Copies of this chain bind each other. A is one copy, B any other.
Amino acid sequence: MDAGAIRRSLEGRGLRCTPQRYAVIAFLLKQNKHPTAAEIFEAVNRVDPRCSRATTYNNLRDLVQAGLVREVAVEGRAARFDATGMRHHHFICDRCGNVEDMEWYEVPQPASNSLGKRIVRECELIFRGLCSKCAPRHASG
């Protein structure tokens, strides 16, 4: 995704393309990890210290609301973020809290009579267990 495409995706969602906002989403787009807000703040500012902590949080909130970024809450740890690219599911490690992408596949919808008046926007599948780093440690130690 080049600079023009990023700018257009922001403006298409009614968000100004400010240097700070651009830096946040551009950073997320080139990650395959799922950084925390603190990690994003630090990384963005290492190169060019123009994005305060409050702005990092503000922009993450705006980007999530606009549907350009996804927030993943992890029990007892800071939330993690990824730029919504190809659809995928998530795997969260019980031990280290890392979030990993899992290949996407269709999930059957709930019976419509179990929905009541609720309006479903999305449905996400989360796998839990031990990641490939932690699984060996578990077996041996």
Binding site for B on A (CB under 8 A): 71-76, 79, 89, 91, 94, 100, 102-103, 105, 107-108, 110-111, 114, 116-132, 135-136, 138
- CB-CB under 8 A from A128, the residues of chain B are 120-124
Say which residue of B102, B116, B121, B122 sits within 8 Å of A110 (CB atoms): B102
A130 to B119 alpha-carbon distance, docked (Å) = 5
For the complex of A and B, list the 10 residue pairs with the smallest distance between their C-beta atoms, beginning with the closest: A73-B73, A117-B132, A121-B129, A120-B129, A103-B114, A73-B75, A119-B130, A119-B129, A119-B135, A71-B75
Let me know if A114 and B102 touch, CB within 8 A. yes
Say which residue of B71, B74, B91, B110 sits within 8 Å of A89 (CB atoms): B110
- CB-CB under 8 A from A89, the residues of chain B are 110
Let me know if B110 and A138 touch, CB within 8 A. no
Say which residue of B74, B110, B121, B132 sits within 8 Å of A103 (CB atoms): B110
From known contacts A73-B75, A79-B75, A110-B103, infer whether A136 and B117 are also in contact, taking CB-CB under 8 Å. yes
CB distance from A103 to the nearest CB of B (A): 4
CB distance from A88 to the nearest CB of B (A): 10
CB distance from A53 to the nearest CB of B (A): 16
